[in-house]
Amino acid sequence: MAIALQSLTPPKTVPAVPATIGGRWVVPLILAQVLSTLAIIPISGLPGPELPTLTPFFLSGVLTAELATSFLLFAWFHDIRTWPLFLLATAYLYSTALLSVYLLTFPSAVLPDRVFVGGSQAAAWVFMVWTNGFAGLTLAAATLEWRGGNRRMTPEQARVATKQAFIAVVSVAVVALAIAAAGDHLPTLVTGTSYTLLNQVLSAIGLSMLMMGIVVILLHIRRSNELFSWLAVALVGMFCADLLTALGGGRYTVGWTSARISLVISASVMFMFFVRQFVRRQHALVDMRQLLEEAVAQRTADLTETIRQRDLLLREVYHRVKNNLQVVDALIAMESRRLKDAPAREALAELRNRVFALGLVHQQLMSSNDLASFSIAPFLRELCDNVAASLALAERGVRVDVDAAPIRVNLDFAIPVGLLTTELLSNTAKRGQATEVRVSFQPDAAGQAVLAVEDNGNAELANDPPQPNTGSTGDRILEGLTRQLEGRMDVMRVNGTSVRIHLPLPDLAA
């Protein structure tokens, strides 16, 4: 007598569980049980083989299914927390407890040729308490579901209700076991292997409650709640089993034996339905995973295309900026050729070098892999070669050596460094007398970088103190860019001029 759930993990709200694929099989399964019972009724009173081992087999199968069903129902109840589901879970817990007592009181079920607990009437009374109690609880659950008893408990109320249900069920089972063990003073329900009139009356009461529960479900609940639809199948199975037991007239008749087998099959079928629900859930998870994988693949493709488009756009931007700076450089060169004033032409030449430094940064970024950073070593070498050519240092007998570590830098760092290098080389050319200029960019022990421009200068000026700031454009550029990069500039004149600028390296991760 197991029950099917819509899913093993229910929703957080309390909607009616639709009668989907499983619900369509409810009526055919009920008809199959009814027709099988009708076929057995004419021979239900015939004596059958006495099989004492049938009861342990029947009880162990039903008990396993009932216990699993009770556990699953209580787990679902703690998510939904409605009274009908609580009563249903309690009914299956009650059935599990009373089945255990029934196993202990049935003759030859535990010990051969004797009763383990109680007298000759104990098993019959426990059976009646079990079947009628289960029928009453399921009828109450179905009626409450029909009348709209879906008010939700709080989580604390659900925990308390579960604890109280467990205590009540165990108490009933202990009382039933105690009464059964007290002696053979119970009213007679079985004489030999036949049932008394009192037994028939109690059976009729249980059958009536089962029938009422079935009618309530089929007429009012079946189309809106798959859980109670399958409860109807379980109740019909129990009704048919109780009916065959009553019509069989006693133990080990065809009706009695068929009823036990029917209960085992019914419980096993319902338990397999739980397995089917789990399989359906797994299939749903597989389908969902496939949908998610497809969505992730599509999203990845979209992001990849977006990144590709962004890279193309950035490369185009860097290319256009470089081209525009080349146009500016060409315009400055045209104006420079028209000028006759040497200082003015020199100023424009310095401006061209600064523009070249800006354009070279964008060219380096355009050819880098990530479009955000590049190695500063080739950048400084190309920059120094261009500035040296612009200032005609080679023609003046000045050799420029560049020693730069392959440190990756970004746009915001490279532009100031390029302009600093350009200004320092220009200052070296202005001082004159140098035959060697060394440009280096290396990391230091403090985790910073040191940009150094050193020349061998004029020996006569080697021991002169550093000249004060003249306020020229180049000096202002040096001070401003050093301050922008939060660096520190040191100037020394010992056997030439050495300018060392300590700069914090950029955080490329940011």
| SS3 readout for 117-166 | CCCCCHHHHHHHHHHHHHHHHHHHHHHHHHCCCCCECCHHHHHHHHHHHH
Residue 405 covered by a domain: yes
- What is the dihedral sign for C-alpha 38, 39, 40, 42? positive
Strands 488-493 and 497-503: antiparallel
Q: Report the C-alpha gap between 104 and 288 in whole angstroms.
A: 48
Q: Report the C-alpha gap between 289 and 467 in whole angstroms.
A: 73
Q: Report the C-alpha gap between 62 and 286 in whole angstroms.
A: 32
Q: Which residue has the tokens 């914090």?
A: 504
Q: Which residue has the tokens 């390296």?
A: 505
Contact at 8 Å (CB) between 286 and 84?
no
Q: Report the C-alpha gap between 416 and 426 in whole angstroms.
A: 15
* Residue 206 token pair: 């249980």
Final residue in a domain of this structure, among 269, 290, 322: 269
Backbone angles phi, psi at 366, to 5 degrees: -60, -30
Q: Are residues 264 and 388 both part of a single domain?
A: no
Residue 482 covered by a domain: yes
Q: Are residues 72 and 220 both part of a single domain?
A: yes
Q: What is the pLDDT of residue 338?
A: 81
* Residue 130 token pair: 């079990």
Contact at 8 Å (CB) between 438 and 485?
no
Mean pLDDT for each consecutive 10-residue tract of the chain (510 residues)?
38 40 71 89 84 72 86 89 93 91 74 64 86 93 87 91 95 88 77 81 91 92 83 89 83 83 75 76 91 93 86 81 83 81 80 82 79 87 88 85 90 89 87 86 88 79 45 79 90 87 81
* Residue 59: C-alpha distances to residues 64, 178, 292, 424 (Å): 8, 20, 45, 98
Q: What is the pLDDT of residue 464?
A: 44
Helices (H), 182-225: 197-216
Contact at 8 Å (CB) between 131 and 195?
no
Contact at 8 Å (CB) between 430 and 468?
no
Contact at 8 Å (CB) between 364 and 374?
yes
Q: What is the pLDDT of residue 111?
A: 57
Contact at 8 Å (CB) between 385 and 421?
no
Q: Report the C-alpha gap between 465 and 118 in whole angstroms.
A: 117
Q: Report the C-alpha gap between 510 and 504 in whole angstroms.
A: 14
Polymer length of the chain? 510
Q: What is the pLDDT of residue 367?
A: 78
Contact at 8 Å (CB) between 362 and 372?
no
Q: Are residues 259 and 380 both part of a single domain?
A: no
Number of compact structural domains in the chain:
2
Final residue in a domain of this structure, among 269, 296, 327: 269
**Structural domain containing residue 107:** 22-269
Helix (H, G, I), strand (E, B) or coil at 191: strand
Q: Are residues 261 and 397 both part of a single domain?
A: no
Final residue in a domain of this structure, among 216, 241, 269: 269
Q: Are residues 265 and 382 both part of a single domain?
A: no
Contact at 8 Å (CB) between 459 and 453?
no
Contact at 8 Å (CB) between 101 and 174?
no
CATH code of the domain in which 450 resides:
3.30.565.10
Residue 319 covered by a domain: no
Residue 219 covered by a domain: yes
Q: What is the pLDDT of residue 109?
A: 56
Backbone angles phi, psi at 195, to 5 degrees: -100, 145
Our CA dihedral for 411, 415, 418, 422, rounded to 10 degrees, sits at 170
* Residue 150 token pair: 């879906």
Residue 308 covered by a domain: no
Sequence-separated (6 or more) residues with CB below 8 Å from residue 302: none
Q: Are residues 264 and 386 both part of a single domain?
A: no
Q: Are residues 98 and 246 both part of a single domain?
A: yes
Residue 14 covered by a domain: no
One-letter amino acid for residue 233 of the chain? V
Name the residue among 261, 322, 282 with its Cα closest to residue 49. Answer: 261
Residue 320 covered by a domain: no
Q: Report the C-alpha gap between 239 and 131 in whole angstroms.
A: 10
Q: Are residues 28 and 150 both part of a single domain?
A: yes
CATH code of the domain in which 230 resides:
1.20.1070
Q: Report the C-alpha gap between 16 and 506 in whole angstroms.
A: 61
Residue 6 covered by a domain: no
Helix (H, G, I), strand (E, B) or coil at 452: strand
